[in-house]
């Protein structure tokens, strides 16, 4: 299970699309939300859209791996889809906010947590403005959010700089491969070696 | 600074040679020892050979990054050579035992510690026997040593399985690249982002 978070404007969406198209072994988790569906969105593609009541029932019934409230709406990760894809041998990517990421960290200590940032905040601001679709008010809100989020970055495993897209995709893939050799993911092998050694008769 | 340790018979020597020949950015640290020079060995290539007294002086004068006693002889890493190569922009590889590795961990928390193992202890035993040059006594001693060492593996960053040499070299290189994105090695960038964000006037 791979969690990807990052400042709004860091380019997570594009990165994720490239990871999924360049490599075969990934599946993207689709979140559930209680917010209104927007024009152009498709239920089950951008999100699974449900009512506030349905979302609260899902929480109560333990059907979510993590959830958070944001601007008065619920967002969460349905357990069933993730478990299905993991069983199929896929690495499941969760693109979620820091609150949700911390819940995943607690429940699944072996999950890999990546944070994506532009090379600097000046560059983040430039990218948000370059979109041309965001009001000054929205840009301000996103930067204020970044100021809160930055204190959680320490709790992630890796920090990736999205400067050049091609390089960043390769780096992320490299990190995902390398992370399987981290000591905390090698407990089974270490235990096997210890057992074999303890059985030697001298 | 990259520390590579591993069971005697794991194939560290061959791995190291391949890392140095396949990639440009590495330099191998040459250890200092107080043991006798063997036939075919060259001072400054396999080891820097010194007397026991000279070694003890080097310890007192703080000229070693780490040192350990093994079978009545001293082994250690001269500081000067490592610092010179680091200044040249090289990644310096230290092939040292677990005791020395733990000293490096304490002094240089940002050092990368890799442990190399064959896929199983049965395979380790097979490889030691296949060399044809080791007496049963020596093989027994090495396996006994492995039994002590295995409890330190948890203190390393990554555990690499040397099953297929080509794959293992690539994996190790991938790990070394990916490790630079680990949160603990990104403190400078995180601090920069925090400072930039704290200066925003809203």
pLDDT digits (tens, 9 = 90+) for A112-143: 999 999 999 999 999 988 888 778 888 898 89
Q: Which helix (H) or strand (E) holds B49?
A: strand B48-49
What average pLDDT score do residues A180-184 get?
95
The confidence score (pLDDT) of residue A132 equals: 80
Residue of B nearest to A139 (CA): B202
Is a pLDDT exceeding 80 seen at residue A47? yes
Residue of B nearest to A197 (CA): B147
CA distances from A51 to A35, A37, A62, A75, A153 (A): 8, 11, 17, 11, 32
Is a pLDDT exceeding 80 seen at residue A151? yes
The confidence score (pLDDT) of residue A77 equals: 97
Nearest CB to B194; choose among A122, A150, A202: A150
The confidence score (pLDDT) of residue B72 equals: 87
The confidence score (pLDDT) of residue B71 equals: 77
| pLDDT-above-70 percentage for chain A | 100
The confidence score (pLDDT) of residue B6 equals: 95
Q: Which stretches in chain B have pLDDT values below 50?
A: none
The confidence score (pLDDT) of residue B147 equals: 93
Question: End-to-end distance of chain B based on CA atoms, in angstroms?
Answer: 41
Q: Which helix (H) or strand (E) holds B103?
A: helix B98-107
What average pLDDT score do residues A42-65 get?
96
The confidence score (pLDDT) of residue B135 equals: 86
- Answer whether CATH 3.40.50.300 is correct for domain A2-198: yes
Question: End-to-end distance of chain A based on CA atoms, in angstroms?
Answer: 42
| pLDDT tens readout for residues B178-197 | 999 999 999 999 999 999 99
Is a pLDDT exceeding 80 seen at residue A197? yes
Nearest CB to A117; choose among B154, B160, B193: B193
Rounded Cα gap, residues A157 and A27, in angstroms:
20
What average pLDDT score do residues A2-10 get?
92
The confidence score (pLDDT) of residue B87 equals: 95
The confidence score (pLDDT) of residue B31 equals: 95
Interchain contact, B193 vs A121, CB within 8 Å: yes
The confidence score (pLDDT) of residue A2 equals: 97
A116 with A165: CB under 8 angstroms?
Answer: no
Closest CA to A33 of A1, A59, A60: A59
Average model confidence (pLDDT) across chain A: 93
Chain B residue set in contact with A, beta carbons under 8 Å: 117, 120-122, 140, 143-144, 146-147, 150-151, 153-154, 156-161, 171, 174-175, 177-179, 181-183, 186, 189-190, 192-194, 196-198, 200, 202
The confidence score (pLDDT) of residue A72 equals: 87
Rounded Cα gap, residues B134 and B136, in angstroms:
7
> CB pairs under 8 A, 24+ apart, for A78-83?
A78/A29, A78/A30, A78/A31, A78/A32, A78/A48, A81/A29, A81/A30, A82/A1, A82/A29
Cβ neighbours, 10 Å, residue B186:
22
């Amino acid at each position: 299970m791979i969690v990807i978070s990052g400042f709004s404007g860091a380019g997570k969406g594009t990165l994720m699309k490239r990871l999924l198209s360049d490599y075969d072994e990934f599946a993207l988790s689709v979140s559930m939300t209680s917010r209104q569906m927007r024009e152009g969105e498709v239920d089950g593609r951008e999100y699974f859209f449900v009512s506030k009541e349905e979302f609260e029932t899902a929480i109560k019934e333990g059907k979510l791996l993590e959830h958070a409230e944001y601007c008065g709406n619920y967002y969460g990760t349905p357990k069933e889809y993730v478990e299905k894809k993991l069983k199929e041998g896929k690495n499941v990517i969760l693109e979620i906010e820091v609150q949700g990421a911390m819940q995943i960290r607690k429940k699944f200590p072996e999950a890999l947590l990546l944070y994506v940032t532009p090379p600097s905040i000046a560059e983040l601001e430039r990218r948000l403005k370059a979109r041309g679709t965001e009001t000054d008010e929205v840009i301000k809100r996103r930067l204020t959010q970044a100021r809160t989020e930055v204190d959680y970055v320490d709790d992630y495993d890796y920090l990736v700089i999205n400067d050049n897209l091609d390089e960043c995709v390769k780096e992320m893939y490299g990190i995902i491969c390398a992370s399987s050799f981290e000591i905390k993911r090698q407990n089974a092998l270490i235990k096997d070696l210890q057992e074999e050694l303890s059985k030697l008769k001298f």
